[in-house]
Every structure is written in C-alpha cells, then in structure tokens.
Structure 1
Amino acid sequence: MKKSISGLILALSLGLFNYSHASAGPLSEENVRPIEVVANGEFIKMDVHPLMNNNRLFVPIRALASLGLSYSFNPTTRVATVQNKDGDYLKISANSKTAYKNGKIIQMDTPAQNSNGRILVPIRFVSETLGYNVQFESIRKFVFVNSKDYSFDSKLLYQDDLQAARKAAIALPINTDFKTLGTLDGYRLHQYTFPAGRADTYFFNDGIYTFVQVKDGKAIAIGQLYRTERKTSLAAGDVSPEMSLDTDPIMEAYDHRSVIFFENNDGTATTGYHDDKNERVNINTKMNIYSDIIQKLPNHR
C-alpha cells in the first residue's frame, strides 16, 4: 500500500517540478515565488506581496489590517497612516527613512518603499514599532505576524472540520533544530500530503521534501530530503539520504488513503486521493488565497 502513495507522489512531483534545480543568473520577478503573510493564524489575501530587497524583507503595511489596524493613504502627500486599537498611530512616507509615531519622529534603518501604490516597510520596523511578533520561515518563505495576545489553540488540529484543521496546521511556522537544505531557485509549486483523517502530521514538497509533525501547538520539521536529477540524495535532520518513501518509519502514517493537496500553475489547486473503491479522485478549485490549497473532502479524508 505504501507503494501506491509513493508512486503517486513521484508522478505528481515529476509533473509539478519540471524546472532546473539551479538558476544560471538573476531570477526575474515573474520567476520568484511571492512571499505569503500569515497574521494571527490566518493567511492574508494581498494584491501586493512582501518583497526582498538587498536582504531586507519588506511587508505591505496595509496587509496588517486584519490585526486590528486602521489604515489610510493620502495620494497627494503620499503618506500612509496606520493606527492600532490602543490609539497609537504611525505616519509613513514612501522612499523615506523618517516616520512619525504619535507625532514624534522615529527613524527606520532603511526607507519605506512604494509598490503599485502600496507602502511596504521593513519587517523589523513592524515588529519593534507596532508591537507585533514577527517570524520569517525560510522553508516556504512565509511571514508570520502575531499580536502580543495571540496564541495558537491546539484543539484546532482535532476539530471535526478536517479542512479547517489542516488549514490551521499549514498556518503554523515550520520550526527546525537542524540546518535546512535551503531552497531551490525559481517559482516552486507547493504540495502537502496528509494521512487520511489527520491534520497533526504532513510532509511538504516544493522539490525538497520536508517532514513535519505538529505537537503542543508547534510545527516541527523532523527532517528534509532532496533527490537530485542524478538520482543522488541530500538529507538533513532525522532523515537519511537513503530514505525510502515506501518503508521508512516516517512514512508509516501514509498509505494509499493519504490525501495530496497541490497547486497548479494556473491559479488553481487540486486534491488527489483514492476512494473506498480504490479509484483515483481529483478535485479542483480556484485559489483566491493560499489556504484554498486545502480543500473540503468527503468521508473524513
């Protein structure tokens, strides 16, 4: 039965990741995957994504409105004003290091930027000035922004609504206690595989397999595996380069009933699984927001 899931994973991987594993030169903006933002456990829908510039990460200040910020922008002065629920406010101008908090001048170490009419600010500035906890996860290139009073409810992983439980699982930052394998160049489509009926363990694949367990409200990577075009393998964490997707103990939870959620390159997502008659079922949906990759399935799959 393990061979069924292993073969399916391989087939999907070959179809999804038909890209070179290294770029010969600078990546174009079209080939760089947009950075997603998760605020207080929810993926944020954005028309402008965070960007990396000179190793500095900038986030759109407007995207943080879900954290209780009010936002306004003066198109004449090009000044953005944000205010939190406590009444503290910031005034920020594009291309300027000078900002104002409650009317007092404060300096940013790098200027805010303007992208398609949106003000983007350095992530460190968001953390230190607005009082949020900010974390950047390098495996999937996600930014996690949490208010000081936010805490993840572990019960979400075991609720009856399995779709919501899995969305909660992928909205947790993946933590590691080992040196990761890094990331592959170019736009990488994402894929998640969950055991049937469960949300507390999964493996993520964007050309590199990352095996994750969620315990005590934290998503912990067990290890990573990368298979090169030359059939050699690289591994990190508690994973061997010789790991078999059929027989390794990590794969014990995964069998022919496992569910695979993956992106397509046309703005849609597909869920694949085998039904009770062991027939292949694919369900497609439009992705309006990243978490739409996790679809609702019948029979507690």
Structure 2
Amino acid sequence: MKKVISGLILALSLGLFNNSHASAEPLVKSKEDVRPIEVVANGEFIKMDVHPLMDNNLLFVPIRALASLGLSYSFNPTTRVATVQNKDGEYLKISANSKTAYKNGKAIKMDIPAQNSNGRILVPIRFVSESLGYNVQFESIRKFVFVNSKDYSFDSKILYQDDLQAARKAAIALPINTDFKTLSTLNGYRLHEYTFPSGRADIYFFNDGIYTFVQVKDGKAIAIGQLYRERRVPSQAAGNVSPEMSLDTDPIMEAYDHRSVIFFENNDSTAGAGYQDDKNKRVDLKTKMNVYSDIIQKLPDHR
C-alpha cells in the first residue's frame, strides 16, 4: 500500500496526472514568473487585485487588503491620499511616494515612501506593524504575509472539527515555522500542492518543487524538515529529513499510508484534487480559484 501511495504522490508532484501541473524543475527566471505574495489576515486568505511587492528586500503591503482586520478605508482621488481608520477611531493618512504620513493628524516619518501600484497604496510592512499595532510575520517557505490584530488567537479546535475542508483551510492559513536553515526556494516555481492524510488536517506536506513536511501542534505549524529531489542532481534535505529519505518506508510517511488526498494548483486559475476511492479507483476534482484557500476542496466521505 505504501508503494501505491508514494507512487501516486510522486506522480502528482511531477505532473504526470495533469499536463498543466508543472514539474519540480526550476522554471523561467523572468520577473513575471515570480509568484505573487499572498496575505493572510486573522487566519483568512485575502482576495486581492494587487498583491504585495518585494523591492530591494523590503516588503510593501496594500493597505486596502487590511480591511478584513476591522479597518475602514477610503481614497481621495483628487489629493491621492489614502485614509485608514481602526475600530477605536485612530486613523492614518498616507500619500504615495511620500515619506510623511499622518497618524491622528500628527506627522510621522516613514523610512521608505509608500508606493502606488495600479491605483492602490502599498506601504512597508514594518510601518504597518509599528503604526497600526498589528503583528506581522513573513513566511519565507511559501512567501506569505501574515497580519494579525492584537486580539486575534488561533483556535486549535478547528483542526479537529467534522468539516475537514474548513479544518484544512485553517491549517494552511498558519505560518510555517522552522528551527533549521531552509532550502533555497526554486526560482520561477509558481504552483503549490498540499498532501493530507485521509481524515486529518493536523499534518500535511507542502510541495512547490521542494517538499516541506509540516505538523500542526498547539496552534502552530512546525516544519519537520524539507527534501529536494531531482533526477539529474544530488538530493538535498534540511531539518529532520535525510537526502536519502524513502517515501515508502520513512516514519514521516506512515500517516499518509491510508488514502492520502492531494490538493494542487493548475496554471489556469483552477485547483485540482486527487485521491483513490475505496475500490482503488482514481478520483479527480477541479474547481475555480477565486482566493488562495480555494485550493482546498470539499471531498466526500470524510476524506
């Protein structure tokens, strides 16, 4: 059974079941092929028409994306000033290309000016954190930004509810923490994939060309280790994983022995899911992706 499951996992990871699903080999290196940065606010992925930008190792976040944190937002097209106000009445006024912002009417200096991208005001993430009082974390593995209000806390019970789709969406909406030096991200690799054991949301492995094995415990997603395997170069590993790790026999894979399910992106703004039913028949699903969390689909029979 393990050979069947690991073979299925490898086949999906290498795109053998879906022509639009990319291989683990690094892709085009042009700027247009850099994956957009996703934002998770208080545990929810945010749908954005303008994604955060990375400029000279500095991250700029669209203020408008923070509306889900209880902020009200307005933009004056004449003065080109954006105003953000929290539920306590504190407000922030920011102009694009200006290092001067105003908090409650008092001028404050920004180290780096805000930017304008397609009519949206983007500000340095450190400035958002310090001036509006949010906790901000950048996860380097998936290139995600996590923004939480002061009173937000993750409820671990959600991982063990009957609604597996909601539980798995909550699991991938947690930042992946590491206590080891991670492997370098593959240039140009855009598509993501998650594999969960059937019936569970508290453990998964993430694949973007590099396998990252994750366990969710006490409300935190902890990376056990990483593995990069490509036919023409030596395997690489980090954390509690060996470069010679076997997807058949390694203890990390034991949880995935029985009917694993795989969720993945296609390059046409859709998401796919795959698993084997009780008769060992391959089942494939597909759905439109409007927001990143749509990658996790609803499956039958508590899978």
- TM superposition shift of 1:20: 4.5
Q: Find the aligned partners of 1:294 and 1:20 in 2 and give their Cα distance.
A: 24
Q: Deviations over 1:160-209 (max 9, x none)?
A: 10000000000000000000002110142000000000000000000000
Counterpart of 2:7, as a letter, is G
Alignment map for 1:269-280 (pairs within 5 Å): 269-280=271-282
- TM superposition shift of 1:231: 4.8
Alignment map for 1:82-101 (pairs within 5 Å): 82-101=84-103
Alignment map for 1:133-144 (pairs within 5 Å): 133-144=135-146
| Residue 65 (structure 1) aligned with residue 70 (structure 2) | no
Identity of aligned residues (%): 86
Q: Give the structure 2 partner of residue 27 of structure 1.
A: 30
Q: Find the aligned partners of 2:279 and 2:23 in 1 and give their Cα distance.
A: 31
Q: Find the aligned partners of 2:30 and 2:131 in 1 and give their Cα distance.
A: 32
Tell me which of 235, 238, 246 is aligned to 2:237.
235
Counterpart of 1:285, as a letter, is T
Question: Tell me, what secondary structure is at the counterpart of 1:232?
Answer: strand
| Residue 185 (structure 1) aligned with residue 190 (structure 2) | no
| Residue 53 (structure 1) aligned with residue 55 (structure 2) | yes
Question: Tell me, what secondary structure is at the counterpart of 1:85?
Answer: coil
Q: Is the 8 A contact 2:37 2:51 kept in 1?
A: yes
Question: Tell me, what secondary structure is at the counterpart of 1:288?
Answer: coil
| Residue 218 (structure 1) aligned with residue 223 (structure 2) | no
Q: Is the 8 A contact 1:226 1:233 kept in 2?
A: yes
| Residue 18 (structure 1) aligned with residue 20 (structure 2) | no
Q: Deviations over 1:30-58 (max 9, x none)?
A: 20100000000000000000010011000
Counterpart of 2:113, as a letter, is P
More moved, 227-236 vs 46-55 = 227-236
Question: Tell me, what secondary structure is at the counterpart of 2:252?
Answer: helix
Q: Give the structure 1 partner of residue 7 of structure 2.
A: 7
Q: Find the aligned partners of 2:94 and 2:52 in 1 and give their Cα distance.
A: 17
Question: Tell me, what secondary structure is at the counterpart of 1:9?
Answer: helix
Tell me which of 106, 109, 113 is aligned to 2:111.
109
| Residue 76 (structure 1) aligned with residue 78 (structure 2) | yes
Q: Give the structure 1 partner of residue 176 of structure 2.
A: 174
Q: Give the structure 2 partner of residue 260 of structure 1.
A: 262
Unaligned ranges ≥5, structure 2: 16-20
Q: Deviations over 1:215-269 (max 9, x none)?
A: 0000000000001341521000000000001110000001251000000000000
Q: Find the aligned partners of 2:220 and 2:79 in 1 and give their Cα distance.
A: 43
Q: Find the aligned partners of 2:42 and 2:75 in 1 and give their Cα distance.
A: 24
Unaligned ranges ≥5, structure 1: none
Q: Is the 8 A contact 2:14 2:24 kept in 1?
A: no
Q: Is the 8 A contact 2:262 2:273 kept in 1?
A: yes
Report the RMSD for the aligned CA atoms in angstroms.
1.2
Q: Find the aligned partners of 1:120 and 1:19 in 2 and give their Cα distance.
A: 32
Q: Give the structure 2 partner of residue 205 of structure 1.
A: 207
Q: Find the aligned partners of 1:98 and 1:212 in 2 and give their Cα distance.
A: 42
- TM superposition shift of 1:12: 1.6
Q: Is the 8 A contact 2:169 2:293 kept in 1?
A: yes
Q: Is the 8 A contact 2:197 2:258 kept in 1?
A: no
Q: Is the 8 A contact 1:4 1:256 kept in 2?
A: no
Q: Is the 8 A contact 1:98 1:107 kept in 2?
A: yes
Q: Find the aligned partners of 1:243 and 1:91 in 2 and give their Cα distance.
A: 53
Q: Find the aligned partners of 1:187 and 1:74 in 2 and give their Cα distance.
A: 38
Counterpart of 1:106, as a letter, is I
Q: Is the 8 A contact 1:188 1:207 kept in 2?
A: no
- TM superposition shift of 1:19: 6.5
Q: Find the aligned partners of 2:92 and 2:231 in 1 and give their Cα distance.
A: 50
